[in-house]
Structure 1
């Protein structure tokens, strides 16, 4: 996939910041659709969904406009990666953003260089996944199935509610099989650096909750202190 085939929607109510974001990403060859409010973005999404959404949280008079936009995207039942940009940096806001499908939550004022690197890393994930050998991506865990071309995983034949990056993280457990320790470095590498080390725990929590929506007693992903996580049936 080339940059020119990768469509990014940017939602930002500050015209100066919006222009800065659009210019920086267009210079990298991406196709950009710019919106200053949630409603216009949602109308455009009804016609064609983007590959990535970059959004502020406060949009005009809507204090949670970005979060509401993320909830709207969930209705399409198709994983659309979201990067939130916000001055709001409370633990609750960051957790909410990830819970709504965000692959990242970046503080304002934003570093354009950091944002560009994260977008390119995400592009590498999606393009490399489409060309990967399917035989190398079969799950070794009973009742857990992978559909890499769709960034989907199924638990007891039911789809798990995961973002694309969370799918990539879960895939490491599925391919390694029960009992293997997946290190923090391996989890971060699996997302091409899109997920930061200090947010891995948040994503693992999201993955666990996705399983619990299907089997409430789920307790198979365990923290291995100082190393990473493992998938196994063991007593806490």
Structure 2
């Protein structure tokens, strides 16, 4: 797909920063819709869903406007990737952003070059053709993959995952039994969208998605200094 095939929504209440972001993205050939507030963006989403959302956290008088927008996007059946841009860099804010499904959380002032690379990597994930049915087939009992929709099902119930988290989970689902999925493998699976220091946050979200269905879920184990593994021996009864 060409860049012109992608629709990106940018939400930023500072008109100068908004213009800078829109111009940089349009120069790369992306189709861009811009908004200065949450409500206008949500009205647009009701008609057309973008391929990617880039949003500030503070939108006008709404201190958590970007977070509220992310919550709204979760109501749609298809996962919409979000990149947050914000001066708020506390651990709590970053954790909240990722917990709401954000693919990335970038500090302001941002590097437009870094943002463009991350956008291209992210969109490459959602457009890469699949090589074979075997590659997408889950080897884990009870776990099914729907690669074309970036969805996974645990005991026939849908898991609440972002596209990036689906790609990470797929590494466990298609690996040989007992394999350790390295940090590098998990980062590579997302085309570099996920930073090394945020892998654990995404793994926690994946675990929590399983726990919504199976409260005592305990299959994904941390292999200290190496990565993570899927272990079948765990007690989920009770």
TM tier, smaller: over 0.9
Q: Deviations over 1:179-229 (max 9, x none)?
A: 110000000000000000000000000000000000000000011111100
Q: Separation in 1 of the partners of 2:130 and 2:181? A: 23
Q: Does 1:163 align with 2:182?
A: no
Q: How far is the alpha carbon of 1:132 from its aligned partner?
A: 3.4
Q: Separation in 2 of the partners of 1:31 and 1:137? A: 31
Q: TM-score, normalised by structure 1?
A: 0.97
Equivalent residue for 1:182? Answer: 181
Q: Deviations over 1:63-104 (max 9, x none)?
A: 000000001111112100000000111111111111111000
Q: How far is the alpha carbon of 1:136 from its aligned partner?
A: 1.4
Q: Deviations over 1:97-117 (max 9, x none)?
A: 111110000000011011000
Q: Is the 8 A contact 1:177 1:231 kept in 2?
A: no
Q: How far is the alpha carbon of 1:234 from its aligned partner?
A: 4.9
Q: Does 1:194 align with 2:193?
A: yes
Q: Separation in 1 of the partners of 2:132 and 2:127? A: 13
Q: Separation in 1 of the partners of 2:149 and 2:176? A: 21
Which ranges in structure 1 are unaligned for 5 or more consecutive residues?
A: none
Q: Does 1:82 align with 2:96?
A: no
Q: Does 1:59 align with 2:59?
A: yes
Q: Is the 8 A contact 1:179 1:230 kept in 2?
A: yes
Q: Separation in 1 of the partners of 2:90 and 2:158? A: 31
Q: Is the 8 A contact 1:81 1:164 kept in 2?
A: yes
Equivalent residue for 2:136? Answer: 137
Aligned residue for 2:104, secondary structure, equals strand
Q: Is the 8 A contact 1:220 1:231 kept in 2?
A: yes
Equivalent residue for 1:45? Answer: 45
Q: Separation in 1 of the partners of 2:25 and 2:96? A: 26
Equivalent residue for 1:119? Answer: 119
Aligned residue for 2:70, secondary structure, equals helix
Q: TM-score, normalised by structure 2?
A: 0.96
Q: How far is the alpha carbon of 1:135 from its aligned partner?
A: 2.6
Whose helix proportion is higher, 1 or 2?
1
Where has structure 1 moved over 6 Å in runs of 4 or more?
none
Q: Separation in 1 of the partners of 2:233 and 2:193? A: 31
Equivalent residue for 1:17? Answer: 17
Which ranges in structure 2 are unaligned for 5 or more consecutive residues?
A: none
